[in-house]
């Protein structure tokens, strides 16, 4: 059994850490690229959202490297993500790929369904080992998120253009290389040292919150490397959801304390959006409210074309923006979106924020 | 003076009008329905809603605008879930908020949550709804009973083969039920959301156009709920969209039915659920080889294009019937 999974930002690092720790053979799909998108878009339904197309492309490319089992998450709607696996599987089947599909669904009847799937993938590992594996993966997720946060802080302030990214890449390798939980603390030290080596210059920066659909938030290929671009424009960004927060909210049901949680975001959404709308629609609205209260200079909403929950959120953002006095920009991505258009819009938006703040 | 309640002729109007209308009238309110879709109504909707929003919801904005100045309150229920463990679509969950923040100068909105995700009875919804107008619980209960009764009769008429407009005619305008149009002519199943296929303006008279070409037309709503659901259980996983269930279940049924010669799938441009259910349907149809037409509607659709495609589809069906089985066209 050679297990693969879709890419979503740096998720592969913690997933393969967990699976390999448990002795599962893993095939990480090649990094998402233009080719991935072309393959996915060719075979996926035209109006499916971008994540589905990229997932599909990942699976086709992973099959070329010998993967035969797909591990992915499911859901119970109303967002389309809950039915991705089934549609993708039907498409792959018609294309002649013989994939086994293991979907981690939130248990509908009893938790045994979920446990048996975990057992299926992890084989002979004991439950205790499985828990340690999950913990290992999760710790890596926390480290990667910490690293990203640090990069968001450094990029607009770095003395030499590109030094943050260089350090980031090196630090990421340190995390990836760790094969056993006991080596994590030392790796953490090394990562901190590497990042501390980036020279910075104090200067006024803009603070922008990034909200929206989780896949587009986390996958730099999907959002055209938005955070890096903003960093270079002198903007310190904060993302409304990081991977470890998402994992804690959705898989651990909030077990880990002290992390930002979706609950606060949802509580902040009324009166703009009074009900959950699936996906991260309500969180998007609520996080925007929270960024406004924290004095951020602006908010950017990211969504894949036709994403239903985000379209609902988008419909109420203009009113929110006027009401709370925080400028918002919505960026929709799909296989047609080009870089030049994005850059122009970003520059115009940042220009506006800078003028408003008087830091031109 | 009696209070006027506005109901937009959009979204689930074609499913639930008798239910809503009977309930309000039993409580002594006057029901005002927005006028049938016109270019003006659609354009008003387009101007007041975001570019990325799908056609049916933008049209619903137009119908809200049509009612805005003619009613005392607007009835825009938040339809979270109309069946256990199912939803409709995220936009139905957010619709009242989208309208509230998209249109200014609205009369008060009545937007109770209808959420049957974990419940079976819609009664609490009607209690919450009725309380806006009366404190008399008995009156609410009786109005609810009456509404459910009329709704059941409406569903019966649909299952007899009538389409919503005809069934509403029977219920409210005393039109005779009429006999099912028997006889020859090919039969086509039109699979699509009620707000697309039954709105003559949006569907460009698809149903009457088909009937005019001598085609017998049926839709998902002519099938009993139990049958549709049973068919839909053949999916690898329970489908969590109620409307998607109906469409898939009906498609599966009509695919196997020897009396149905072809299938037309109608979707709105960029409709989320349609993008996946439509994909599953068209893959299955291709495997079975029944004539199939996939029509995508949006505000730019031109009549000529739709007519051409329909004609081509009908031609193909006709030709298939003269060919011996097994030969492909």
A19-32 pLDDT tens trace: 999 999 999 999 99
The mean pLDDT of B269-281, rounded to a whole number, is: 93
CB-nearest to A78 from B89, B98, B275 is B89
Whole-model pTM: value is 0.94
d(CA B102, CA A339): 30
Whether B183 shows a pLDDT value over 70: the answer reads no
Does B270 contact A306 at a Cβ distance shorter than 8 Å? yes
Does B90 contact A277 at a Cβ distance shorter than 8 Å? yes
The mean pLDDT of B134-141, rounded to a whole number, is: 96
Q: Chain B residue closest to A269 (CA)?
A: B97
Chain B: nearest CA to A228, how far in angstroms? 27
Residues of B contacting chain A (CB within 8 angstroms): 49-50, 52-54, 78, 80, 85-91, 93-94, 96-98, 101-102, 113, 235-241, 267, 269-276, 278-280, 283
Residues of chain B contacting residue A94, judged by C-beta atoms under 8 Å apart: 283
**Contact indicator for A91, A56 with CB cutoff of 8 Å:** yes
**Contact indicator for B34, B52 with CB cutoff of 8 Å:** no
d(CA A19, CA A13): 10
pLDDT number for residue B278: 94
Per residue in A266-300, pLDDT (tens digit) is 999 999 999 999 999 999 999 999 999 999 999 99
d(CA A72, CA A64): 18
Q: What is the CA radius of gyration of chain A?
A: 20
Per residue in B300-327, pLDDT (tens digit) is 888 899 999 999 999 998 888 766 555 5
Question: C-alpha angle with apex B16: A270 to B132, nearest 5 degrees?
Answer: 50
| B258: number of Cβ within 10 Å | 6
Residues of chain B contacting residue A278, judged by C-beta atoms under 8 Å apart: 87, 90, 93
Q: Cα A144 to the chain's mean position, in Å?
A: 12
DSSP string, B202-271: TTTSHHHHHHHTT-EEEEGGGS-HHHHHHHHTTSSS---BHHHHHHHHHHHHHHH-TT--EEEEEEETT-
**Contact indicator for B243, B89 with CB cutoff of 8 Å:** yes
As a 3-state breakdown, chain A gives helix, strand, coil percent values, each rounded to 5, of: 55, 10, 35
What's the full length of chain B, in residues? 329
Q: Cα B162 to the chain's mean position, in Å?
A: 14
Does B279 contact A87 at a Cβ distance shorter than 8 Å? yes
What's the full length of chain A, in residues? 360
Q: Out of A161-165, B253-257, B291-295, B302-306, pick the least confident.
A: B302-306
Name the one residue in this structure whose structure tokens are 């922008």: A208
Name the one residue in this structure whose structure tokens are 């045994």: A112
Q: Chain B residue closest to A95 (CA)?
A: B283
The mean pLDDT of B27-46, rounded to a whole number, is: 97
Does A273 contact B283 at a Cβ distance shorter than 8 Å? no
Order of strands across the sheet that contains A206-212: A235-239, A206-212, A298-304, A328-333
Tokens of A180: 């056993």
Whether B181 shows a pLDDT value over 70: the answer reads no
Residue B266 pairs with which residues in a beta bridge? Answer: B192, B295
**Percent residues over pLDDT 90 in chain B:** 86
What one-character DSSP code corresponds to residue B34?
P
pLDDT number for residue B325: 55
The mean pLDDT of B83-111, rounded to a whole number, is: 95
pLDDT number for residue B322: 66
Chain A: nearest CA to B244, how far in angstroms? 11
pLDDT number for residue B287: 87
Paired sense of beta strands B292-297 and B216-219, if any: unpaired
What one-character DSSP code corresponds to residue A162?
T
Q: Chain A residue closest to B88 (CA)?
A: A78
**Contact indicator for A31, A98 with CB cutoff of 8 Å:** no
From the number of C-beta atoms within 10 Å of its C-beta (0-12, 13-18, 19+), residue B132 rates as: middle
Q: Is B105 left (phi over 0), alpha (psi -120 to 50) or beta?
A: left
Does B91 contact A281 at a Cβ distance shorter than 8 Å? no
Q: Cα B198 to the chain's mean position, in Å?
A: 7
Q: List own/partner pairs for A34-39 with CB under 8 A and 24 or more apart.
A: A35/A61, A36/A61, A36/A221, A37/A221, A37/A335
pLDDT number for residue B182: 56
Give CA separation, A315 vs B50, B105, B269, B291, in Å.
6, 17, 18, 39
Residue A352 pairs with which residues in a beta bridge? Answer: none
Does B276 contact A87 at a Cβ distance shorter than 8 Å? yes
Nearest C-alpha neighbor of B172 from the set B295, B68, B33: B33
Q: Which residues contact B85 (CB under 8 A, 6 or more apart)?
A: A76, A108, B117, B238, B240
- Mean confidence (pLDDT) of chain B: 93
Q: 3-class SS at A3? A: strand
Does A77 contact B87 at a Cβ distance shorter than 8 Å? yes
Does B240 contact A309 at a Cβ distance shorter than 8 Å? no
Chain A: nearest CA to B263, how far in angstroms? 19
Per residue in A203-251, pLDDT (tens digit) is 999 999 999 999 999 999 999 999 999 999 999 999 999 999 998 887 7
pLDDT number for residue B329: 47
Per residue in A117-136, pLDDT (tens digit) is 888 999 888 999 999 999 99
**Contact indicator for B247, B191 with CB cutoff of 8 Å:** yes
Does B90 contact A278 at a Cβ distance shorter than 8 Å? yes
From the number of C-beta atoms within 10 Å of its C-beta (0-12, 13-18, 19+), residue A36 rates as: buried
Does A315 contact B93 at a Cβ distance shorter than 8 Å? no
**Contact indicator for B217, B247 with CB cutoff of 8 Å:** no
DSSP string, A243-311: HHHHHHHHTSTT-STTS--HHHHHHH-TTT--S--STTHHHHHHHHHHHHHTT-SEEEEEEETT-HHHH
Q: Cα A346 to the chain's mean position, in Å?
A: 20
CB-nearest to B90 from A78, A305, A316 is A78
Whether A148 shows a pLDDT value over 90: the answer reads yes
- Mean confidence (pLDDT) of chain A: 94
Q: Cα A342 to the chain's mean position, in Å?
A: 19
Q: Chain A to chain B, count of Cβ pairs less than 8 Å apart?
A: 127
Whether B184 shows a pLDDT value over 80: the answer reads no
**Percent residues over pLDDT 90 in chain A:** 87
CB-nearest to A309 from B78, B90, B283 is B90
Tokens of A277: 């709308």
Nearest C-alpha neighbor of B15 from the set B91, B63, B93, B79: B79
The mean pLDDT of B210-229, rounded to a whole number, is: 95
pLDDT number for residue B247: 96
Whether A70 shows a pLDDT value over 50: the answer reads yes
d(CA A146, CA A175): 11
The mean pLDDT of A341-353, rounded to a whole number, is: 96
Does B280 contact A90 at a Cβ distance shorter than 8 Å? yes
Whether the complex's predicted ipTM surpasses the cut of 0.95: no
As a 3-state breakdown, chain B gives helix, strand, coil percent values, each rounded to 5, of: 50, 15, 35
Mutate: best of A72, A311, A328, A332, partner B, most B CBs <10 A:
A311
Residues of chain B contacting residue A306, judged by C-beta atoms under 8 Å apart: 52, 270-272, 275
pLDDT number for residue A189: 97
Paired sense of beta strands B113-115 and B78-81, if any: parallel
């Amino acid at each position: 059994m050679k297990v693969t999974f879709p890419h979503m930002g740096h998720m592969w690092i913690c997933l393969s850490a967990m699976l390999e720790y448990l002795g599962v053979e893993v095939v990480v799909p090649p990094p998402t690229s233009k080719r991935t998108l072309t393959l996915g878009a060719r075979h996926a339904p035209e109006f499916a959202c971008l994540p589905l197309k990229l997932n599909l492309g990942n699976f086709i490319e992973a099959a070329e490297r010998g993967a035969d089992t797909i591990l992915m998450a499911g859901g119970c709607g109303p967002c389309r993500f809950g039915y991705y696996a089934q549609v993708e599987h039907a498409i792959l089947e018609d294309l002649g790929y013989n994939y086994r599909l293991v979907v981690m669904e939130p248990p509908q009847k009893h938790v045994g369904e979920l446990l048996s799937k975990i057992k299926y993938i992890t084989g002979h590992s004991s439950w205790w080992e499985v828990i340690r594996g999950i913990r290992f993966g999760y710790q890596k997720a926390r480290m990667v998120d910490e690293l990203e946060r640090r990069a968001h802080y450094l990029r607009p302030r770095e003395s030499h253009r590109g030094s943050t990214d260089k350090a980031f890449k090196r630090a990421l390798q340190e995390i990836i290389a760790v094969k056993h939980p006991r080596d994590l603390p030392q790796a953490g030290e090394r990562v901190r040292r590497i990042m501390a080596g980036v020279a910075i210059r104090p200067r006024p920066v803009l603070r922008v919150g990034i909200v929206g659909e989780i896949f587009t938030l986390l996958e730099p290929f999907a959002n055209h490397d938005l955070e890096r671009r903003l960093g270079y424009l002198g903007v310190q960004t904060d993302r409304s959801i990081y991977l470890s927060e998402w994992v804690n909210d959705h898989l651990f049901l909030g077990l880990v304390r002290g992390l930002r949680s979706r609950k606060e975001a949802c509580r902040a959404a009324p009166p703009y959006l009074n009900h959950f709308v699936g996906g991260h629609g309500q969180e998007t609205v609520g996080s925007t409210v929270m960024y406004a209260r924290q004095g951020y200079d602006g908010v950017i909403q990211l969504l894949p074309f036709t994403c239903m929950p985000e379209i609902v959120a988008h419909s109420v953002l203009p009113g929110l923006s006027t009401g709370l006095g925080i400028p918002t920009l919505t960026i929709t991505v799909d296989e047609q979106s080009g870089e030049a258009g994005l850059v122009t819009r970003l520059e115009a938006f940042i220009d506006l924020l800078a003028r408003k703040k008087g830091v031109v | 003076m009696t209070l006027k309640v506005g109901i937009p002729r959009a979204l689930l109007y074609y499913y639930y009008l008798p239910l809503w209308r009977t309930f309000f009238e039993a409580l002594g309110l006057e029901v005002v329905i927005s006028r049938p879709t016109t270019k003006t109504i659609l354009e008003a909707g387009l101007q007041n809603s975001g570019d990325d929003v799908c056609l049916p919801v933008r049209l619903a904005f137009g119908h809200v605008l049509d009612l805005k100045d003619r009613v005392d309150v607007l009835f825009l229920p938040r339809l979270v879930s109309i069946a256990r463990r199912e939803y409709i679509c995220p936009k139905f969950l957010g619709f009242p908020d989208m309208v509230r923040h998209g249109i200014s100068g609205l009369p008060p909105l009545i937007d109770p949550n209808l959420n049957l995700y974990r419940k079976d009875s819609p009664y609490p919804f009607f209690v919450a709804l009725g309380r806006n107008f009366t404190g008399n619980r008995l009156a609410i209960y009786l109005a609810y009973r009456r509404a459910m009764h009329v709704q059941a009769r409406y569903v019966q008429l649909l299952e007899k083969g009538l389409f919503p407009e005809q069934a509403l005619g029977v219920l409210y305008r005393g039109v005779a039920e009429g006999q099912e149009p028997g006889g020859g002519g090919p039969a086509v199943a039109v699979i699509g959301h009620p707000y697309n296929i039954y709105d003559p303006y949006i569907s460009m008279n698809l149903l009457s156009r088909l009937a005019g070409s001598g085609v017998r037309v049926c839709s998902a709503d002519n099938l009993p709920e139990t049958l549709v659901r049973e068919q839909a259980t053949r999916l690898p996983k329970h489908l969590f969209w109620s409307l998607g269930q109906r469409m898939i279940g009906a498609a599966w049924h009509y695919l196997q039915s020897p009396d149905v010669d072809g299938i037309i799938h109608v979707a709105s441009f960029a409709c989320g659920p349609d993008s996946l259910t439509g994909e599953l349907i068209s893959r299955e149809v291709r495997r079975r080889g029944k004539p199939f037409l996939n029509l995508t509607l949006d505000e730019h659709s031109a009549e000529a294009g739709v007519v051409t495609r329909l004609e081509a589809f009908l031609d193909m069906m006709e030709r298939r019937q003269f060919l011996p089985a097994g030969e492909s066209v």
